[in-house]
Structure 1
């Protein structure tokens, strides 16, 4: 890869969907949710800013076993993966088997309601367990309201 993830057109487009979908479901921007000033710049600048924020943002697509298609720098650090590695793994692999039923229920509930708040245990690529508190997961939709996957954000987490 010759460019940073946030410089790629498909990532810029995904960033726009993630942010507009958050606004759609929660009625305010992700920036406001996290106490940050609103950003009025180019789509690439916004993609860079989302990639560099100090909280984790990740999303997966619509595959039967959804694959991550976005993870900002904080998410990559937490899961101990490169962009290339992260965007090739099924999102279910971030939860241990004992947590799968809870995660599946959360994602199904989100599909119905549009968004949900969550807490739960997740696992890094090297097996480190961590607890997420007060996370938000939401459906990613396009301008035609077609389902494009789901995204999550969290900043309150600690390693177990």
Structure 2
């Protein structure tokens, strides 16, 4: 299997992630220069957890960097076929849905924290999370992403 960050669709998605983050926050998610592929590789191996999902009725994860794959204990193939709601336990779905709706309305939300669950049922608290709307090349909403560098296993 080709490395995720070498795939044309992921290289394009990486550009959307970075551009949308800067659009909403005025900040740079990752200070990296180089070819689009080099930037995609740097983001994939960045020292923070980064995930995103699309805009399907039950949104499917469409990106997770190496830290995210390790945290949720998933392969790329497993992660990118999973509804994003499955990253959290059923009892916190209502709060998660409110957060995503707030993000959709405001563009981004800072300082979120919540309990998530890995594929082997390990629970962990993600902290200092920033969630933002992803925009395509026409500035149309095409998903949401979340980044965090703080998490604690419970």
Name the TM-score class by shorter chain. over 0.9
2:53 maps to: 60
Which SS does the other structure have where 1:126 is aligned?
coil
Paired with 1:40 and 1:98, the residues of 2 have a C-alpha distance of 42
1:84 maps to: 77
Paired with 2:101 and 2:145, the residues of 1 have a C-alpha distance of 13
Alignment TM-score, normalising by the size of structure 1: 0.94
Paired with 1:42 and 1:106, the residues of 2 have a C-alpha distance of 34
What displacement does 1:98 show?
A: 1.0
What displacement does 1:143 show?
A: 2.6
Deviating runs (4+, > 3 A) in structure 1?
Answer: none
Which SS does the other structure have where 1:30 is aligned?
coil
Q: Structure 2 matches for 1:4-153, cutoff 5 A?
A: 4-31=3-30, 38-117=31-110, 118-153=112-147
Alignment TM-score, normalising by the size of structure 2: 0.97
**Aligned-pair RMSD on alpha carbons?**
0.7
Runs of 5+ in structure 1 lacking a partner?
A: 32-37
Paired with 1:126 and 1:107, the residues of 2 have a C-alpha distance of 25
What displacement does 1:142 show?
A: 1.4
